[in-house]
Structure 1
Amino acid sequence: MVLAGTFVTFLDFFIVNVALPSIETDLDAGSATLSLVVAGYGLTFAVGMITWGRLGDLYGRRRMFLAGLALFTLTSAACGLAPSAEVLVVARFLQGAAGALLTPQVLAILGTLYAGQRRGPAFAAYGFAMGIAGVLGQLIGGALIEADLAGAGWRAVFLINVPVGLLALPAARRVLPESRGPRARLDLAGAALVSAAATLLVLPLVEG
């Protein structure tokens, strides 16, 4: 179940690329807006990872994973139903933040559930889920747009996450145990500084 969350979050780094020409036509989006559709997701995803991972240590990794998966499902629906390019950009920023809440919990949960010789295959499966999402992202996106399911067109590349999330949420709620890290106060000032530094580092890279 946790690998389903990993798969969809990394898939959305790549699947959107093949949808950009259709988004440009359908929503009358300019090149700068299209850049933000791609870069906004990567920016909030990268910036949020450290802080959101700490929330899992403090308040429960299962709880934060479920919250992240629910938010990722909702923001994916918002992307798929966006009536304008501006709404799509905002939804993509929020989708990246939801992915940043979900993703660090996966490694922590795997590290808690699997020990000894079982840990190697578990982390190999995690790496495989990331890799296959990168390899198949644009192929899946192209197939969805070509199929034009229910006339969804480019919107299907985002809406495909909704049934995945709806299936994974109840299953994860049933089978995942709760776990926490060392108890410590959340350093809000430090989190703000790290987020600002990561933004200053990542934003020029993703825009470039």
Structure 2
Amino acid sequence: MDEARGAQQRLFVAVPLPEALAGFVREAQDLLPPAPGLRLMGPQQFHVTLAFIGEVDAAKAEAARAVIESVPAGMGGEGVFERFLLLPSPRKTRVVALELSDGEGSFKRLYEWVMSGLERAGVTQREKRPFRPHLTIARLRNPGMVQPRSESGRARYAIESVCLYRSELTPRGAVYTVLARKDLVNEVEA
């Protein structure tokens, strides 16, 4: 067996941020005060995670790719960035995110479809905690308090595609590589 094919890969499934929203996210990051160990996410890391798969072998990676490629094209939709989200709690924040209001249920529907497919394929199991769509904009090395200077405002987040990513952890942060991408926007009829 080829050594590269047998290697474990750290994978996750996510909705990438549309390029048009990168400025909105940067403005939200600018509302964060300086804090020890605060690391801002870069534009290449902006996404809403649907499923963290974890370390898998090549066979499970291929099964995950097949699930992503089989997502129906009409599963797009949108959510709205509503407010900052401090995880796991405001007093012990490790992650600063923008929470998405999913009024149409678009993110939840896509999450359910992807998770069901990954479970049927034997790739991963559903997490026990409920799905809460959000986009991580910063991380803190040590838990602490970060109080944004004001709220971020609102912006619509269109689900244009869903991707299977490989995550490689480096001393400078995670590096993400798209392994599979499925466009979800319906084509305009002529």
TM surpasses 0.5: no
Give the helix-richer structure, 1 or 2: 1
Q: Give the TM-score taking structure 1 as reference length.
A: 0.29
Q: Give the TM-score taking structure 2 as reference length.
A: 0.31
Give the strand-richer structure, 1 or 2: 2
